[in-house]
Amino acid sequence: MLLASATFTSCTISEAGAEADGTDAEPVTTQPRTEVVRAHLFDDDADGRAAFARVKERFEAANPGYAMTFLAAAREIAADASSRLVFVQTPVEEEPAAAEIHTASGATGTELRKTQLHVGDIAVLRPGERLTVEPAIAALVFDVPDTPSDGVPAAIRPDWDPDITDVPGGCATETGAYRRILLTWLNDNGPYNFRGLNAHRVRITDSFTHYHPADTGFDEFYLVQMSNDEDRLLTSYHAAAIESPETMTPELAGQLFDVHEVRAGDLIYLPRGVIHRGLGGVLAQVITVPGFRPGAEIGVDHHLLAINERLGLEGDDALPYNVEASTEAVVR
């Protein structure tokens, strides 16, 4: 059977196999609630701008009160009435940028908070605050309807903050996994609590296959910050079909998954209800809106294994699955 590997490129039943038994692949009939959308943030052409506009439109339509902007070379982010979370996407090789967060303090002056910002950091701007930075940074900015508490610092720096340490779990359960929780739903998981948006920076080598329910879950982004040629993201719109192994046919099984190449600078929108799994070692900010809700990560690897066993799928025809998560139902 085909297990997770960096060389995996297709989940499709071979055309030769379909011809051999004289059947045509029966189309999967379930339709996506909304689609996975990928934009490369640094593609400054018509196609690149259109892709980001599509991500922005679909995310904002699904999440009233939120807004998203990408700034390719910002030296200042002006004050606004809303709170904003600034995800720094400056190239890794750059030195940290000197930043100041200016807080209005009446008519006579401002309070300045100085920090440094590097790829993987978040600047937290509360209402009325503005950010200046030198040299310019590339940043993905979220407007959020709620204001983080005073316990959330003005700059969250996962590689420099001693209160943020590796917490294996979720998409990176292996010992020694790089997984640092910047904003969390539960204080048990990390020091900075905010339920309007959560984020953890993680290296995903072989995640379990899962989705977040359309009614009780959350939307998710992969903001890709490092990648290699072997990184892949598997997605599927067909949770209902996968969760009914007893009705699965070989033809349907061959159409369940899409395979996406991943590169640094990608922003991948994974709406509620879409099954997904990362492979290969991609380093990303995993951003969830409105925030991670316990019990809203539903694993399907045990179903994928059951489908393989029931249909006798082997080799390139087998559905890929995470072995560790396939022994029982996983809900996190």
More confident residue, 192 or 29: 192
């025809």: which residue's tokens? 317
- The bridge status of strand 258-261 relative to strand 232-236 is antiparallel
May I ask the CATH class of domain 15-64+162-326?
mainly beta
User: So where are the chain's domains?
Assistant: 15-64+162-326
Query: What Cα–Cα distance (Å) separates residue 189 from each residue in 69, 165, 168, 317?
Result: 28, 10, 10, 39
Does residue 112 surpass a pLDDT of 60?
yes
Q: What is the pLDDT of residues 248-302, one digit of tens each?
A: 999 999 999 999 999 999 999 999 999 999 999 999 999 999 988 888 999 999 9
Q: What is the pLDDT of residues 60-109, one digit of tens each?
A: 999 999 999 999 999 999 999 999 999 999 877 778 999 999 987 655 56
Q: Following CA atoms 172, 177, 178, 180 in sequence, which dihedral angle do they give, to the nearest 10 degrees?
A: 60
* CA dist., res. 49 & res. 85, Å (int): 21
């996506």: which residue's tokens? 32
Q: Which residues contact 283 (CB under 8 A, 6 or more apart)?
A: 178, 201, 202, 203, 204, 224, 225, 226, 227
Whole-prediction pTM = 0.87
pLDDT, residue 64, reads 96
47 within 8 A of 75, measured Cβ to Cβ: no
Mean per-residue pLDDT over the chain, rounded: 87
* CA dist., res. 129 & res. 115, Å (int): 14
Which residue type, as a one-letter code, is found at position 315? G
Spell out the alpha helix ranges (H) of 180-327: 239-242, 250-253, 301-311
- DSSP character string of 81-127: SSEEEEEE---TTSPPEEEEEEEE-STT-EEEEEEEE-TT-EEEE-T
* Closest CA relative to residue 97, chosen from 82, 76, 112, 83: 76
Q: Which residues contact 312 (CB under 8 A, 6 or more apart)?
A: none
Within a 10 A sphere around the Cβ of 12, how many other Cβ atoms? Answer: 18
CA dihedral sign, ordered 33, 23, 244, 171:
negative
Does residue 159 surpass a pLDDT of 70?
yes
Q: What is the pLDDT of residues 123-155, one digit of tens each?
A: 999 999 999 999 999 999 999 999 999 999 999
More confident residue, 3 or 43: 43
- The bridge status of strand 110-117 relative to strand 122-125 is unpaired
* Closest CA relative to residue 213, chosen from 293, 140, 153: 293
